[in-house]
Amino acid sequence: MTTTSPVARPLPAARHRAPGPWAGRALIGAAALSLLFVVALWQGNGGLAQGGAVSALGRLGGLIASNLLLIQVLLMARIPLLERRFGQDKLARLHRVTGFTSFWLMITHIVLITTGYAADAGTGFLEQGWLLVTTEPGMLLAFAGAVALVAVVVLSIRAARRRLRYESWHLIHLYAYLGVGLALPHQLWTGSDFLDSPLATAYWWSAYLCTLAAVLVFRVGLPLWRSWRHKLRVVAVTPEAPGVVSVHMAGHGLDKLPARAGQFFLWRFLDGRGRTRANPFSLSAVPQRDRLRITVKDLGDGGARVATLRPGTRVLIEGPYGAVTSAKRSSDRSLLIAAGVGITAMRSLLEELAFQPGKVTLLYRVRSRAEAVFAGELEWFAANRGVNVSYLDGPRGDSWLPRGYGDDVESLYRMVPDLLERDVFLCGPEPWMETVVATLRTAGVPRARIHFERFAW
C-alpha cells in the first residue's frame, strides 16, 4: 500500500462531453420509426390480403422480429454515441427486453407461418414444418439459426445465467451473431416482403449491412486499433489487500484514450491460457499519459489469473465503457459509497472530481479494516484534499450497513446530514447496490442524483 497518490491532471472535459438528452430521444425515435416503416412495407406488399390472414400475420411477426433483432445487436455493438448517452447498464437492459421480444415474435412467426401453410396444403403442423425446413431454400440454415438463438435466450434467463461464469456466458452469447447470420439467407431468397418491393429490398439490405459494419467497426476494428496504437504491457502486479491486486500497465499516448474515472474496459491478457477471454475491470486511477491501473479481486477465472500476470505481458483492450463519471455530477457536493473491490471506481473518481475540502464524503463498506483496499491512498485523500472517509466495517446485517447500525435512513443522515444536496455515486455487488438505492430513495434523494452501473452481461 502507498500513502501517496500521484494525482493526475484530469483529461480535457471537451473530449468527454456526453451527448445531450436530444441524442437519446433521436435514437429511440429512429428505432421506433424503423419498426413503423417495416409495418408500412408489409402493408404495401398486401398486408393481411396476401396469402391468408394467418400466414400474413406470421410474416409481419417475422419482419418485426428481424428488425428488433438488428436493433438488439446494435444496442450491444459498443457504438460510442450509444455508450456515452445510455451507459452499459441501460443498454444491457434495453438489449434484454428487445431480445426477448424479438425471440417471442420469432416463435410466433414460425408457428403462424407453419399453421398457415399447413391449412393451405391440407397437411399436419409437424409434417408441414418438416417440409418447410427440408425443401424451401435457406430454411435449413434458418432452422439452425433459430436453434442457436433459442440456446442463447434460454441461457439468458437469470436463473441459468447466474450459474455461468462470465467467461462462459461471453462465449455462448456470440452464438446470437451466428443465429442472425443464418437467418438472413431464407429471408432474402424466399421472403416476398424482402423481394417484391425495391424499397423493401433496399431497406433490408441496408439494415443488415449497416448492422454488420457497426459490429465489425466497433467490436472488432476499434478495439484492435486502440490496442495496436497504445501498445499496452503489464509492468507490475502489486498486492493491495488479501486476494486483491493492482495491475499497472504502460503504453503510448494513453492521454489520447477517451477514458475517464469511473469507466471500465474489457481486458485480454495475452499470457497463454485464457488469452481469448475478455473480463470487465474498472480503472482504479485516472489514466495518465503512459500509465493505466486496474485493481482486481480473485473472483472467477479472470480475476484469479490476474495475480499471476508477469511484467511484459501484452494487453488487448475493448472500451472504455460506462457512463457513471464525474460528468453526471450536478452539485458541488458528492457522496461516494463503495463495497469491497467496488472501491476501485470510487477511488478513481476521487482523483478526477474537482471539489473543495469537506464537499466529498466516502462511505466504504468492508468486513474488516484489514480487507480495505487503498487504505493508504484514502488516507492521502483525507489529509490532502479534505475527503471525509468513513469505514463501514463489521459483520453483515440485514441491510447494506453492518450489523448494529440501526435504521438505514437515520444512520445515513447521521453520517451525511446534507445528503439531499449531494450527487451519490455507488459501486459494489449488484444486490448490495440495489439495497443502497432503496435506502437513498426512501431518504428522499432524487433518482437523477443516484449514479451507478452494473457490469453488463
Cell of 333: 457536493
CA distance 107 to 61: 9
The pLDDT, as a whole number, for residue 433 is: 93
> Do 231-321 and 326-451 agree at the fold level?
no
pLDDT grade for 198, boundaries at 50, 70 and 90? confident
- Amino acid letter for position 362: L
Query: How confident is the prediction for the chain on average, in pLDDT?
Result: 83
Sign of CA dihedral 185, 188, 189, 192: positive
User: pLDDT tens across 407-451, in order?
Assistant: 999 999 999 999 999 999 999 988 899 999 999 999 999 998 999
CA distance 177 to 184: 11
User: pLDDT tens across 239-250, in order?
Assistant: 998 889 999 999
pLDDT at 1 over 50: no
H-helix segments, 76-191: 80-121, 125-135, 139-156, 158-161, 166-173, 175-190
pLDDT grade for 14, boundaries at 50, 70 and 90? very low
- 326-451: CATH topology: Rossmann fold (3.40.50)
Angle at which helices 80-121 and 125-135 cross, to 10° = 120
pLDDT at 187 over 50: yes
pLDDT grade for 304, boundaries at 50, 70 and 90? confident
User: pLDDT tens across 134-165, in order?
Assistant: 877 777 777 877 777 777 777 666 655 566 56
The pLDDT, as a whole number, for residue 265 is: 92
The DSSP output letter for 246 is E
pLDDT at 387 over 80: yes
Q: Is 200 strand, coil or helix?
A: helix
The pLDDT, as a whole number, for residue 11 is: 42
Looking from the CA of 179 toward its CB, the CA atoms found within 13 Å total 23
The pLDDT, as a whole number, for residue 71 is: 92
Q: Which residue has the cell 436463473?
A: 159
For the chain, give every domain's residue range.
21-217, 231-321, 326-451
| Beta-carbon contacts of residue 392 (< 8 Å; ≥ 6 apart) | 363, 364, 365, 366, 401, 402, 405
Please, what CATH class does the domain formed by 231-321 belong to? mainly beta
CA distance 59 to 228: 45
